[in-house]
Amino acid sequence: MPISAVHALGVFVEHGRSGYRKNMKLIYIVGPYRASGQWQIFQSIRRAEAFALQVWQMGAACICPHKNTEYFNGAAPDSVWLDGDLEMVRRCDAILCVPGWEASSGSLGEVALAKQLGLPIFRSIEELRKWLDQPPCSNVVSG
């Protein structure tokens, strides 16, 4: 293990994860990506990225597909990215929709899948924060 990785690991272990949840929820960011031009695509990515950062700052893990394939334009058919996005939704605990998601066919498909799976669907950071702040449910039956 490189020295920097050992040092980082030592700091992580020494200081722990105070301020973050023990059982992190995994949140998927839903929002438009494709657009009429490169500038509009960049703006879509930046908007999703800002929401993703807020999710991480609340102590949840986040998948932001916009960042995942940011520089892949044209490297494979759109269906590859869209199918991959749906697979990522299946593995998440909830989704967070960014403004403008309703205008995106890919986002509509992601929300439809989340509904089918019974995943919580949030349309604002505030809604997500309330959900994350709820105490975890216990499946243990006392007796």
Residue 87 falls inside a structural domain: yes
The reported pTM is 0.79
| Residue 4 forms part of a structural domain | no
35: amino acid identity, one letter: A
Report percent pLDDT > 70 for the chain.
Answer: 79
**Domain for residue 14, yes or no?**
no
| Structural domain total, the chain | 1
What is the CATH classification number for the domain harbouring 91? 3.40.50.10400
Sheet containing strand 94-97, edge to edge, reads 61-63, 26-30, 94-97, 121-122
Over residues 52-104, the pLDDT tens digits come to 999 999 999 999 999 888 778 788 998 898 999 999 999 999 999 999 999 99
